[in-house]
Amino acid sequence: MPIYNAPLKKVDQKETRRYAGLAIADFDENFIIDACDEIVYSATPRGIWNMYNYDNIHGIVLADKDFQITGSKILNHLSHCQKVIIMAVTIGEVIEKSIEMAFNNGTYSHGLLLDAAATTAVEQIADALEKNIDPKANALGYKRIWRFSPGYGDWSITCQPQILKLANAEKIGIHCTSSMMLTPRKSVTAIIGLVPQTDPFSPEKPSCQNCSQKNCPSRKVTNKNF
């Protein structure tokens, strides 16, 4: 149950623009910088993960209580994995209050950008946690494939309670509501597959083109359907 609270020194401005739907807009960079900086000093990044053996024939995470994975995309994604990491990260609750306060004070655009910057930040913390796992995975002769979160593809978010338990996420203050939403809201859970270094398997990365949310404001601008 290793805990790794990755430092958050900078929030990626480009990604924040994208999440705010401003990827191709001419918009004052200072607004973005202000939101990114505010996230840096109001976030409380936390991260936790556990490694499990994985039965890739039956799609079962071999824990004290086995966890059956369902969903064709996730099963295919993990089809070459011998081990998996179950991880959870959050940037805490203070951000929620800052966003709420921005809307209450009538600084709506700042609230919107804060939300986008917070999303960027939690993804960065998840990336940093993944990087932290690398030496351990590499020393065992494994490489990691991209993380897959409940809700992607056809992997239902109803598995969140089990994921949280396997990651021991309560220890860093992440919980799940009865409608399977994570609190604090800016949190991420995911499974990371570990494939032998020598296995050339490289699953296809998710892209905006394959996503059903055609009106998503953060849709990548390379997509001509935007």
Partner 1 sequence: MIHIFDGAMGTILQERGILKSGICPELLNIKHPADIINVHKAYINAGSTIIETNTFGASRIKLAHFGLEGSTREINMAGVKNARVAACNNAKVAGSMGPTGKFIEPLGDLTFDEAYDIYLEQASALAEAGADYILIETCIDLQEMRTALLAAKKAAPNIPVICQMSYSEDGRTVTGTDAQTAAITLEAMGADIIGANCSTGPEQLLPIVKILAKNCACPISIQPNAGMPHLINGKTIFPMSPIAMAKWAPKLISAGASFIGGCCGTTPNHIAEIKKALYNSPDPIRIKPTSSLALTSRTKTVFIGIDMPTRLIGERINPTGRKKLAAEIKNGSFISVKKEAVEQTNAGADILDVNMGVGGIDQPAAMEKAIKEISQIVSTPLSIDTSDPQSLEAGLKAYPGRALINSVSAEPDRLKYFIPLAKKYGAAILCLPLSDKGLPKTAGDRITILKKIITHAKEAGLKDNDFILDSLVMTIAADKTAGCEVLEALNLYRHEFGYPSTMGLSNISFGLPNRPLVNSTFFAMCLAAGLDAPIMNPYDTSMQNTLSAAAALIAKDPNGQKYSLTASKQQSTIVKEKNIPKNILTAIKNAIINGEKENVANMVEQALKEGHSSNELTEKALSAAMNDVGKDFGAKKIFLPQVMLSAEAMREAFLKIKEIIPAQEIANNGTVVIATVKGDIHDLGKNIVAALLENNGFKLIDLGKDVANEAIVRAAIENDADIVGLCSLMTTTMTQIDSVISSLKKAGSKAHVIVGGAVLTQEYADNAGADAYAEDGVIAVKLAKNLVQNKL
Q: Is 197 in the site for partner 1 (CB under 8 A)?
A: yes
Q: Is 106 in the site for partner 1 (CB under 8 A)?
A: yes
Q: Is 79 in the site for partner 1 (CB under 8 A)?
A: no
Q: Is 200 in the site for partner 1 (CB under 8 A)?
A: no
- Only one of the segments 57-65, 66-74, 104-112, 200-208 lies at the binding site for partner 1 (rule: CB under 8 A); that segment is 104-112
CB of 14 to partner 1, least distance (A): 15
Binding-site member from 198, 205, 224, 225 for partner 1 (CB under 8 A): 198
Q: Of 211, 212, 208, nearest to 222 (Cα)?
A: 208
Instruction: Give the C-alpha separation, 102 to 98, whole Å.
Output: 6
3 state DSSP class of 56: coil
Instruction: Give the C-alpha separation, 131 to 223, whole Å.
Output: 29
Instruction: Give the C-alpha separation, 136 to 190, whole Å.
Output: 18
- Only one of the segments 50-58, 59-67, 72-80, 175-183 lies at the binding site for partner 1 (rule: CB under 8 A); that segment is 175-183
Binding-site member from 71, 103, 203, 208 for partner 1 (CB under 8 A): 103
Instruction: Give the C-alpha separation, 45 to 188, whole Å.
Output: 11
Binding-site member from 60, 63, 75, 180 for partner 1 (CB under 8 A): 180
Q: Is 42 in the site for partner 1 (CB under 8 A)?
A: yes
Evaluated on CA atoms 139, 142, 143, 149, the torsion sign reads negative
CB of 209 to partner 1, least distance (A): 18
Say which amino acid occupies 138: N
Separation in Å, CA 49 to CA 118, 165, 189, 219:
21, 10, 10, 29
Q: Is 62 in the site for partner 1 (CB under 8 A)?
A: no
Instruction: Give the C-alpha separation, 3 to 132, whole Å.
Output: 10
Residues of this chain that bind partner 1 (CB under 8 A):
2-9, 20-22, 25, 27, 31, 37, 40-42, 45, 94, 99-100, 103, 106-109, 111-113, 115, 131-132, 134-135, 138-142, 157-158, 171, 177-181, 183, 185, 196-198, 213, 215-217, 226
